[in-house]
Amino acid sequence: MLNNKSSLVSRPKKSNSAKNIQKKLKEGRGQGNLTNYLPWIFTTDFSSLGVDSRVLGSKIARIYHLLSELEHTAFCFYDLHPRVIDINEQFPLLPIEMTIQICENLGIKHPTEPGTQDLTVMTVDFLVTVAIDGTVRRLARDIKPKVKLREARTVQKLEISRRYFDALSINYGVMTQDELEVPIVKNSKLLQPHATEDGLPLSSKTRIRLRDYLIGKMPRNNRALRDICAEADEFLGHEPGTSLSIALHMIATHQWQIDWNTHFSPASPGSSISK
């Protein structure tokens, strides 16, 4: 249980934290938007962090720094969602005085750098900008394994984040693997690597011809997309896999429609696609 008696915790010393914050701000960390945004934490800031990744976004063409497999999964969902305008990963909770005050109100210790007493800037995994019914709003989301929610210190940190964003009138929430194991998220993770045009075979003109051919052969719940694409490659004289790459790109970019709330697989019959 969180303790609201601030008298139990003395005000921490900032030590070298102020210098570190200014250094990162000077680098542009945690600032900008769209292609100009730089996350507060880079994957290269750590010699070994376990499962992390740098992923090219399709909605906004820049490299995203993701610190866990669950973050990667959530990112794929946001990157392909048509209502998402911008994605800011590893977004800093600044000014740090806000989180210091929240910790004092809760009577808990402010997070510090490992092995030191230097205060660390807290971050939220994603600050997502969305457009809903013509209104632009921001959503803050932390991504955690469900087992971590049993740890008292994790709960404390999440409460700090919740109060921080509540003070800014920004909707805050926590997602676990339970929310990320639904079909729409799994489909997004499958298709996100195909959303950019980087590496797509053939010229634009040839891709349009191939697209028109595939539309005429669109699956009708009884044939797998992979099989139809293999026939297209043979008929049109393309390298094996060419047609499937184009088809998956069309789906990932919402030029062709699937039921995103139903499991999709190009190898399984029954995945209906429409133009």
Q: pLDDT tens digit string along 168-189? A: 999 999 999 999 999 999 999 9
pLDDT above 80 for 273: no
Give the pLDDT score at 47. Answer: 58
Mean pLDDT of 263-268: 91
Comparing 46-60, 158-172, 186-200, the range with the smallest average pLDDT is: 46-60
The number of helices, as runs of H, and strands, as runs of E, in the chain is 9, 6
Q: How far apart are CA 220 and CA 223, in angstroms?
A: 7
- pTM score > 0.85 for this model? yes
pLDDT band at 222 (very low <50, low <70, confident <90, very high): confident
CATH code at 6-180? 3.40.1350.10
Write out the two tokens for 82: 């048509």
pLDDT band at 90 (very low <50, low <70, confident <90, very high): very high
**Averaged confidence pLDDT in the chain:** 88
| In the chain, where the domains are located | 6-180, 197-252
Report the percent of the chain where pLDDT is more than 70: 89
Strand partners, 132: 135
Give the pLDDT score at 8. Answer: 37
Could you tell me which residue, 204 or 195, shows the higher pLDDT? Answer: 195
Give the pLDDT score at 223. Answer: 80
Mean pLDDT of 14-37: 88
Question: Are 67 and 43 in contact, with CB atoms under 8 Å apart?
Answer: yes
Give the pLDDT score at 44. Answer: 87
Q: 27: number of CA atoms within 13 Å, CB side?
A: 13
Write out the two tokens for 158: 């999440």
Q: How far apart are CA 244 and CA 32, in angstroms?
A: 36
Is the C-alpha dihedral spanning 112, 118, 119, 121 positive or negative?
negative
Mean pLDDT of 100-104: 98
The β-bridge relationship of strands 84-92 and 53-56 is: unpaired
Report the percent of the chain where pLDDT is more than 90: 64
